[in-house]
Amino acid sequence: MSTLTAHGVSVSFGALEVLHNADLLVAPGDRIAVVGPNGVGKSTLLRVLAGLVQPDAGTVSAAGTAGYLPQERDRRDDETAMGYIARRTGVAAAEAAMLAASDRLARASGGGQPSGPATGGPATGEAATGEADTGGADTGGAAERASETYAAALDTYLALGGPDLEIRTSELAASLGLPADLDRPATGLSGGQAARLALAAVLLARFDVLLLDEPTNDLDLTGLELLESHLAAFRGGLVVVSHDRAFLERTARQVLQIDPHTREVKLYGGGYQAYREELERDRVRAAGAYETYAATRDELIERARRQKEWARTGERSAKSAAARRKEPDKNIRRGRVEGAQHQAARGAATLRAAERLEPVAEPRKEWELRLRFGAAERSGDIVAVLSDAVVRRGAFQLGPVSMQLNWGERMLVQGDNGSGKTTLLQALLGRMPLASGRGSLGPSVRVGEIDQGRLTFDADARLLDAFCAESGLLEPDARTLLAKFGLGADDIGRPVARLSPGERTRADLALLMHSGANLLVLDEPTNHLDLPAIEQLEQALDRYDGTLLIVTHDRRLAERVRVTRRLTVSAGTVAEQ
């Protein structure tokens, strides 16, 4: 049985502890969703499980293969689409290990040629079993060890589906709408094709345990259905980080929560919806327990205060000259003093009872993204117009499109990857040259935008410098605004390229809130956002009173955001529902 086990894992980056004493067992059939705010350590946990980050304490062990597919597409300049698939499925690394083991076996056996094929097929011949003639060059020990290493490498290569990867990829490419020529550079693919290429890597991978970081980002509805269907049939273990609520409801059977304060993990059973319900019950129980504790403590302290005050008043009265004149009997006066002292003793006992109460910690008030888009001055009645507009990008054509976007309209644009949604947005904004037709943007329109690639800021600049340059804010004001979006001193001092995708998205939202835009253009705005932030975004969009143009594959967002128009883009054609 293939399993992946983490025991007592702790990871720190400098003074920041990211994970504390985490335990996790991933067995075949497990479907574990990892949840928590941006920056809490979800991606770090996956990288630790994949062996890419060594923990400061604790151990990770695997019986079988574990494959990590990161949330960023990480296409490389020197890599073909097929090379990307081979790397992401683990076949490239397995093939390299097998060929290296083959070379060592050939040398240890006294042969002059490596036994593994240069093209990545399985090695054959007697050297694979360690039975080749050594010519007296080795007594057998080194050759035996090399043979065992090669056999293990070959087994891994075969288990990962190396021999027929190219055939399987070619068959899948057509159904995913990928180019038939997979030897083209991966960086030359469109955004939609890149998303489908990443999906292909998931569908083709044959790891025993899949570690998926935001696999739904940028996927269209067809791709989401393919991914969910594949994972439903997958027999291995799955650990997934995702902020797609519909995906989590369909996929997760357990939920692993990373606490943002203690950095400890807690596993919930029963699926994502059950986790949300249990979390709410825990919140209500914790709040009720603290309220009971606080009320009891406050009541005892107040009673002790009253008792001590009564004691002081009674003792002063009993000892005063007036009291002596009114009550000449000294025994009675002494009794009154003793009564006051007893009252003081009762007050002290009541205070000790308050101190002996079992303390109950006050529930922490979680940080919230308080997002509000305030529209600038109203634009004209007509925000954007396209008239018989045609856009050509290589072999792809969008249009002809004729449409008008008016002030205050809220338009949702949906369609498959590569259908032309982003091209339509850019044409409406006047940023895409038209092959024919006309387009215009209203003169008083002020655009606020989140692009799909999160490329707003200079990647090499510090976030604070880049944010000041884009916003026009002075440093103190920029720091204050970024802090409201959970970006503190450590974050704003780092180069933009070193920020997580979620942190870059928060910076985009901060800039968007500051912009005072009267036209919001949001292309997949929920990508990389954590679940609480997505819910805050939904509320902010609901309150926004300007013009809204949104592209999303987030099924829950599409259901909950109030819209007045819906467009569907398909193979370059635009239709209104």
Q: How confident is the model at residue 119 (pLDDT cuts 50, 70, 90)?
A: very low
Across 565-577, average pLDDT: 88
Are both 434 and 458 inside the same structural domain?
A: yes
Q: Please report whether residue 454 resides in a domain.
A: yes
Q: Please report whether residue 37 resides in a domain.
A: yes
Are both 386 and 347 inside the same structural domain?
A: no
Tens digit of pLDDT for each residue in 274-313? 888 888 888 888 878 888 888 888 888 888 777 777 667 7
Q: Quick check: 365 and 406 in contact, CB under 8 A?
A: no
Lowest mean pLDDT among 17-26, 211-220, 232-241: 211-220
Q: How confident is the model at residue 126 (pLDDT cuts 50, 70, 90)?
A: very low
pLDDT confidence of residue 178: 81
pLDDT higher than 50, residue 127? no
Are both 77 and 98 inside the same structural domain?
A: no
pLDDT confidence of residue 500: 78
- 221-233 helix and 191-204 helix, angle to the nearest 10 degrees: 10
Are both 151 and 241 inside the same structural domain?
A: no
pLDDT higher than 50, residue 570? yes
Lowest mean pLDDT among 1-10, 234-243, 340-349: 340-349
Q: Please report whether residue 450 resides in a domain.
A: yes
pLDDT higher than 80, residue 39? no
pLDDT confidence of residue 259: 87
Give me the domain span that covers residue 102: 91-159
The most confident of the ranges 45-49, 69-73, 393-397 is 45-49
The encoded tokens of residue 296 equal: 């009891």
Residue, of 265 and 331, whose pLDDT is higher = 265
Q: How confident is the model at residue 436 (pLDDT cuts 50, 70, 90)?
A: very high
pLDDT confidence of residue 165: 92
Are both 77 and 95 inside the same structural domain?
A: no
Q: How confident is the model at residue 265 (pLDDT cuts 50, 70, 90)?
A: very high
| Alpha-carbon separation of residue 51 from 5, 44, 91, 247, 278 (angstroms) | 12, 11, 17, 26, 32
Lowest mean pLDDT among 78-82, 90-94, 399-403, 452-456: 452-456
The encoded tokens of residue 532 equal: 């609480």
pLDDT higher than 90, residue 31? yes
Are both 488 and 511 inside the same structural domain?
A: yes
Are both 77 and 124 inside the same structural domain?
A: no
Across 371-399, average pLDDT: 83
Q: Which residues fall within 8 angstroms of residue 427, CB to CB, at 6 or more apart? A: 386, 389, 391, 398, 401, 434, 439
Q: How confident is the model at residue 120 (pLDDT cuts 50, 70, 90)?
A: very low
Q: How confident is the model at residue 380 (pLDDT cuts 50, 70, 90)?
A: confident
Q: Quick check: 439 and 386 in contact, CB under 8 A?
A: yes
pLDDT higher than 50, residue 122? no
Are both 292 and 244 inside the same structural domain?
A: no
52-66 burial code (b ≥16 CB/10 A, e <16): ebebeebebebebbb
Residue, of 304 and 510, whose pLDDT is higher = 510
Q: Please report whether residue 272 resides in a domain.
A: no
Q: Please report whether residue 414 resides in a domain.
A: yes
Are both 461 and 491 inside the same structural domain?
A: yes
pLDDT higher than 70, residue 146? yes
| Alpha-carbon separation of residue 65 from 157, 274, 427 (angstroms) | 10, 30, 46
The encoded tokens of residue 367 equal: 């940080």
Are both 414 and 484 inside the same structural domain?
A: yes
- In this prediction the pTM is 0.71
In the numeric block, the tokens 């006066």 are attached to 333
Q: How confident is the model at residue 320 (pLDDT cuts 50, 70, 90)?
A: low
- CATH code for the domain of 26: 3.40.50.300
pLDDT higher than 70, residue 9? yes
Environment class of residue 310 by beta-carbon count within 10 Å: exposed (0-12), middle (13-18) or buried (19+)? middle
Return d(Cα 347, Cα 352) in angstroms, integer.
Answer: 9
Are both 19 and 46 inside the same structural domain?
A: yes
Tens digit of pLDDT for each residue in 407-432? 989 999 988 887 888 889 989 998 88
Count of CB atoms situated within 10 Å of the CB of 385: 17
pLDDT confidence of residue 396: 85
Across 517-539, average pLDDT: 84
pLDDT confidence of residue 340: 59
Q: How confident is the model at residue 38 (pLDDT cuts 50, 70, 90)?
A: confident
Three-class secondary structure of residue 397 per DSSP: strand
Q: Quick check: 138 and 108 in contact, CB under 8 A?
A: yes
What mean pLDDT, rounded, does the chain reach?
Answer: 82
Our count of domains for the chain comes to 4
Q: Please report whether residue 364 resides in a domain.
A: no
Are both 351 and 233 inside the same structural domain?
A: no
